[in-house]
Structure 1
Amino acid sequence: MNILTVDTGTTNTRVTVWHDGVVAGQAARQVGVRDTAITGSTAKLEEGVRETIAEALAAANIDKADIGRAIASGMITSNVGLCEIPHVVAAAGIDDLAAAMRESLIANVWHEPIWFVPGVRNAVDHIGLHNCEAMDMMRGEEVESFALVERLKLDEPTVIVLPGSHSKFVSIDAKRRIDGCVTTLAGELLHVISHDTILAGSLKDGFAKRIDPEMLLAGAASAKKIGLGRACFSVRILDQFAVYDANARANFLLGAVLGSDLLTLKNSSAIRMSPGTRFVVSGKPILREAIGRLVEGDDFFSGTVTVLGDDEQRDLAGYGAIAVARRRGLVD
């Protein structure tokens, strides 16, 4: 069976064509729900998804008539997407997501109804200052998480790390359900600090090119002791008055930002992570290695730590969306 999966985020869309569970073709484009938010219309998003689908089909050398099922996940199910679906409330298993899937015909995008996978939110109601920190939500990371639950055969409490523009930490319980998540702006912070502040001149190429363990750990320790803002400014001090190169300074900043994320895991009320919880780290190689190093040097993370390889985390969104659709009986 040929299956089409669409993964739309805030700024990007990726389409994958699957043939009997194997990737046959892919395409990606810089179009996402941000375009709807900016223009007030879904026209650009519809056009972008339609054209990305066409590119993926061409890459797979498959005609649209040969596709047996189209499945979409991510921000495409938000209020600025193409088919708004309410979040499923945690704790949510893969069967809960399957039951909440919806189909919708969007003629400007695909000639048949597309099945959409909803997101998941924390079980917090009557939001106010007293409990807003406990609330969090996801659209897209839930299918990635269930893909890893299946691939790694997770059957114990686990926190899955999905770093990106918005770094997501997803808590999986012993029943293989998502029981909460917590989000940070780590990726966006790194980009803005590296390119749009006074530190741009001190960081030269911006992001760290290779891990410098000493500087990484020093940055995390600095943020923990004196706060993220001051730790960040220390990058300029290291440039002006010390002999560290740009990569070392970038590692100091990386450690400060990611170290703050680890403080979130220890103190946030959005998820409940105990020291013995298993820890699975996904993401780009430099981020995986950095988080792995920071966790390795922190006694709080005493459970099993798994840093994924490229193959283990390949095509997570599509794989997970198909897994959810299979539970709904949409896929053999």
Structure 2
Amino acid sequence: MAKLTVIIPFYQKEPGILTRALASVFAQEFKDFDIIVVDDESPYPADGDVVTFSQEERARIRILRQENAGPGGARNTGLDHVSPETEFVAFLDSDDAWTAGHLALAHAAMTRFDANCYFASITGGDAFYYHFGIDDLEKTETVERLSENPLLIEIPGLTQVMLKNWSFLHLSSMVIGRPLIDTVRFDAALRLAAEDVLFFCDCVLAARRVVLGGVAGAVRGEGINIFHGVDNDSPEFLSQQFNTWVALDRMESRFAERPAEVASLRSYKQTARRQALWSQARRVKHRKLPQFDLLARWALRDPRILASAIQLAVGKFSR
């Protein structure tokens, strides 16, 4: 069996996007891998992008088909089908691509430093402006250099750093090992937002050791990915913010004994409330009814959103 399994969730509506991702996998210097593509009831089937590869390459690809379960559910299906003999799992979004040395660097770092969680840097276009590299963490955080070339670091207080700003983390540059493969899963209910951040936290908390690499392991794609692209005025935006709040609330329970982390999470939760309420205020401004059903569900889980709504209303009337 392969030493490493690549998991690619797939839900696209244009041909060619998966071809680019798979080509970057087959271009890896590290060759001991197999691939699981989870076709999450994609409008454009995964098979159409796989036929372009050689018979030998196609033999290393397993396509699993399922009813639509969202990105977290698709990745969970992939994790559930990883061979017990596989030592590592690397994630790749179907519209992203790896740099040629990504798997080799990840495998070497995790083996040398006995780590079972690894994050590389990732690059992207102008739309990815908020993301920053692992090497930038040295400018603001206390880090320990494990290697100069390639740059490998670890951060003793990684959870606090993550919760201040997790924009240096991305699933397409993440590799995990045993026992995380067996025990950590995505919350599939958190569609549209935050399932990745909750997974990051759970992996870091459960990991034996986490190593971060300064070399870019992936390039974020510019393709059409139906998992993303929810704008502030779309009906899905309220669901996105609610899911974000739910994920943050669950993370808060995991960090109950860590005051700094709890403070960060509560601040993010309040931001999610405000974003949600502003979206509903814009609906009213455009003579549309608020999304009362979801707001009621939110208020049952989180009565503080009512206080935030009153504060918003008072602020508008005072102006």
So what's the TM-score if we normalise by structure 2? 0.27
So what's the TM-score if we normalise by structure 1? 0.26
Higher RCO structure, 1 or 2 (CA under 8 Å, sep 6+) = 2
